Structure 1
Amino acid sequence: MPAVSPSDKTFESRSPADGSVLGTYPVHGPEEVRAAVVRSRAAARRWAAAGWDGRRSALLAWKRSLARRMDEVAETVSAETGKPLHDARTEVLLVLVHLDWAARHARRVLGRRRVPSGATALGQRALLAYKPVGVVGVIGPWNYPAHTPMGSIGYALAAGNGVVFKPSELTPGVGKLLASSFADAVPPEFAELFTVVTGFGATGAALAEAGVDKVAFTGSPGTARKVAEVCARSLTPLLAECGGKDALLVGADADLEAAADAAVWGAMSNAGQTCAGVERVYAVESVHADLVQRIVRKARELKPGEAYGPLTLPAQLAVVERHMKDALAAGAHAPLGGPESLRSPFVHPVVLVGVPEDSAAMREETFGPVVAVNAVRDLDEAVERANASAYSLGATVFTGSRKEGLAVAEQLDTGSVSVGSVLGYAAVPGLPFGGAGESGYGRIHGAEGLRAFASARAITVKRFSGGTDLTSFSTSREAAARMVELGRRLHAWR
């Protein structure tokens, strides 16, 4: 990895499974962060000169290198998050899928193209072009420390930018490995295009005010607000992905076995530490009891440490405990699990039923292997309850037909919806990802993700003279008036 000025302060990365030390990393301060931005900006000028073909070639070389080093990257992800190695390998596969798409489609999405000039500007050739924003500061999460930040890093690089990445203090080794693998795979003149700074919240704040041209943040809504305050001082644009409280809706004629399977995987995989995972299930009354039985049966078979890992952030255990105890005290019951499920660092599966809609377990992000399954009158009520959340990231729909499922999906106020599966959109690189409200704003992935890290420019080129020029004082008022009147009549009757 390109060198960043050494810091006197350091911190340790530890295994969430057993507390062992995995590595020691510097706590970078404001001066070191600014220096990284300066170096990235210099490399970005060379990156711009490489053109679409040069950038595509370098990014695909990096992708191939990561594919060959999948085990190394996955082992680092697994060690720092605690997730099983097979889950970490799946995460790295998503990195490859998205990096490949961004590299291969950047020119098509962002390349200069003609747009219609319109009758009023027939003499002008109209062009739409995009330019890189400059240097993007990426502040990443710990739950998917490779896949999630690469949704910004890979697309920002493909759009022609430099990147300075601040990984979570829980997963600095993953960030360091991503940057070093980039430097190893691309020509030397691009080695400092993508660099990493490490530390805690203060390092992230330093990055946001270090002169970057955009910040892409993933984390809690509370932290996003702090980052937004820093960005506002310099009017630095911010893209924020802040989690979710995603719902799974089940109709009366749905395939209950498939819905139960999706609910359990969506709620329990990665120990429930998935921003677009399933935290709420709304099932029509006639099938609710049957669905609960199926969910309990499947969840009971899961073994923490094999099916999923420990809670990566130890403090999250208190959040899971509070949500569960508050729900039970408010009248919910647990057909599976309870307070005894909290066996640090693991949480065994918990299924709650009849949880009051105003409880923390239904309104706040739990981020643990806990799922609430409530009965509703019909799918209209399910949609109403799903939309009542302050979060608006993703949702899942199971109905008897794809047509009905799509109709329900279109009523949901979320950035993404999967019909008949859970998180189906995550593996489709051409689709955008992001939410609204407490889930943040902006989009990564797909064409929208590329445009998020580029600035649109309008260009006109005069093709010929003649007619009535409305941008010249030499045109008589009478001629200009006739032209305006002609345009008025055209639009009055079209």
Structure 2
Amino acid sequence: MSSITEQLIGEYFATGTLAGLPSGHFIDGKSRPAATGRTMETFDPGTTKVFAQFAAGDAEDVEAAVASSDRAFRDCWRKVAPAERGRILQRAAEGIRANAERLAVVETLDNGKSLAEAQGDIRSAARLFEYYAGAADKLQGETIPLGMDYLSYTSLEPVGVTAHIIPWNYPTSTMVRGIAPALAAGCTVVVKPAEQTPLTALMLAEILRDAGLPDGVCNVLTGTGTAVGAPLVAHAKVRHITFTGSVNTGSLVMQAAARNITSVTLELGGKSPAVMLADCDIDAAVEDVLWAIFSNSGQTCSAGSRLVIERSIHAEFVERLAARTRKLSFGHGLRNPEIGAISSQEQLNKIAGYVDEAKSRGVRVAVGGSRTVDQASGSGWFFQPTILDDVGPLDVVVQEEIFGPVLSVQIADSAEQALELANGTAFGLAAGIYTRDIKKALRLARDIDAGQIYINEYYAGGVETPFGGNKLSGFGREKGLEGLRAYCRVKSVTARI
């Protein structure tokens, strides 16, 4: 741990906050209070205590931010040479790396995750800017062969003002996953972070400004989904919406967008299976499945929240996985445990409700199953890493997203039944496949209905690989070159010569 990180941690535990945290909206290159002057509080999940305040926006603030981004798009950003846009994004990547330690500490305080996980998220955000910096000057159209008497070609144009509704589980990396390709394409952005985790979005806006991004190109509004998110996605000047969150809210976003014929990218819930065939490498798979579900305390849309496993290895595998789970350390994120806090009291109650109801139905708890606290302080929103064993295919904990450190185990008698169970929910975000037989793996990869498949390593891939879901998990893709498509419109030009 560096001396800077140690100083920040020391300051926080001594004072209960950090000096210089942003508190206002970021509009037109400046911090400003909410139009009403109202504020909200943000809590440290590791202690349950307030550690900062921020602006509580409303429709008046939304109007100011969208007007600013619309102006910046028409008068400035779309006219900036693509290579220069790339240079600005590259400087933003460098700015994130220069401020990585402070960003990671603030992310831990706002979200509750471990410091190591927050540090990884900050590295990912820098890499996203770096990746799309390289793509900015490579967005090019095509010529179309219509014969000697015509010249026909296409060009890619930015769609305009884009809105980005950011979830609380990965505040920094999810924000950058959307805004980096949008900025690379020449769009302007209005960002609405979750009210539970607003601070790093405001810090990133400052980094972008310092990297040379013109005023108004990136605006950040804080507040509730009702007061800020709803008027933002309904605004007529917003031409694309990128939303990450729940299925119910995603449906409302689509309805609001439809009134203005605004395009949307939706990354919604998941109930992703880790399919374990009998010939898998059990030693490697146990460790991999552990982190597929328990990373970020299970608060990951693409988490491997179901283990679909062949019966012949079920008992041994679950026993070994449960033993490994019992050894996991948990506590305040700044003490860098393996498992951090649940991000809010509301989410903790939701997780506990699912598990308590499962126990009342007779579902066997192989390990965990209860709320807990940080043993060093006796406080915080924590839930024990939990494995629910031999769960029926229609059980609620198999069919619904819990969004916490809870793994539901389903037993299959063959690879064919494993496929049926894997596809047996309304979600289709991700799936893991574990086998030594590449033919079996590729057949399952072909037949599982999910947006991304991981073979023998959950979360395999990275910034370069497209990410998104099928069925109730949403549509559209982020990351990779596919992530640029939503922010470009195609214009065709044909001339008789």
Please, which of 295, 307, 324 is the counterpart of residue 355 of structure 2? 324
What's the CA shift string for 1:453-477, capped at 9, x where partnerless? 11111222334xxxxxxxxxxxxxx
Residue 141 of structure 1, aligned match among 167, 175, 179: 167
Deviation at 1:416, TM superposition (A): 0.4
Identify the residue that residue 184 of structure 2 maps to in structure 1: 158
Find the counterpart in structure 2 of residue 378 from structure 1.
414
Cα deviation, residue 340, structure 1: 6.0
Corresponding position of 2:90? 60
TM-score (norm 2): 0.88
Correspondence for 2:34:
6
Q: Residue 484 of structure 1 corresponds to which residue in structure 2?
A: none
Residue 44 (structure 1) shift: 2.2
Matches within 5 A, 1:265-284: 265-284=291-310
Larger CA deviation: 327-336 vs 345-354:
327-336
Residue 133 (structure 2) aligned to one of 87, 103, 106: 103
Q: Is the 8 A contact 1:330 1:355 kept in 2?
A: no
- Where 1:165 maps in the other structure, the secondary structure is strand
Alignment of 1:75-94 (within 5 A): 75-94=105-124
Most deviating of 334-343 and 29-38: 334-343
Aligned-pair distance for 1:318?
A: 2.3
1:56-455 equivalent positions in 2, closer than 5 A: 56-108=86-138, 110-115=139-144, 117=145, 121-186=147-212, 190-201=214-225, 202-210=227-235, 211-305=237-331, 306-339=337-370, 345-425=381-461, 427=462, 429-455=463-489
Please tell me whether Structure 1 or Structure 2 has the larger radius of gyration of its CA atoms: 1
- Whether the aligned pair in 2 keeps the contact of 1:139 and 1:166 (CA below 8 Å) is yes
- Cα deviation, 1:426-459, whole Å, max 9, x if unaligned, reads x2x2221111222111111112110111111122
Encode CA deviations 1:131-173: one digit per residue, 9 max, x unaligned: 0000101010000001112111111111110000000001111
Aligned partner of 2:127: which letter?
Answer: V
Q: Distance in 1 between matches of 2:475 and 2:287?
A: 30
Q: Distance in 1 between matches of 2:307 and 2:495?
A: 56
User: In 2, Cα distance between the equivalents of 1:251 and 1:52?
Assistant: 48
Which residue does the alignment assign to 1:478? none
Please state whether the residue corresponding to 2:178 is helix, strand or coil: helix
Aligned residues: 455
Q: Give the Cα separation in 2 of the matches to 1:152 and 1:460.
A: 33
Query: Offset at 1:5?
Result: 6.0
> What's 2:69 paired with?
40
| In structure 1, distance between residues paired with 2:148 and 2:351 | 63
| Distance across 2 between alignment mates of 1:339 and 1:309 | 15
State the alpha-carbon separation in 1 of the partners of residues 209 and 51 from structure 2.
23
Given that 2:393 and 2:410 are in contact with CA atoms closer than 8 Å, whether structure 1 keeps it comes out as no
CA distance in 2, matches of 1:183, 1:242: 30
Equivalent in the alignment of 2:6: none
In 2 relative to 1, CA 30–340 (structure 1 residues): closer, same or farther, beyond 3 Å? Answer: closer
- Deviation digits for residues 226-250 of structure 1 (CA, Å, limit 9, x no counterpart): 2222222222212111121110001
Q: CA RMSD in A?
A: 1.7
Deviation (angstroms), 1:52: 1.0
Task: State how far apart, in whole Å, the 1-side matches of 2:349 and 2:43 are.
Answer: 19
TM score, norm. by length of structure 1: 0.89
Which structure 1 residue ranges, 5 or more long, are not aligned? 464-494
- Give the superposition deviation at 1:122: 4.5
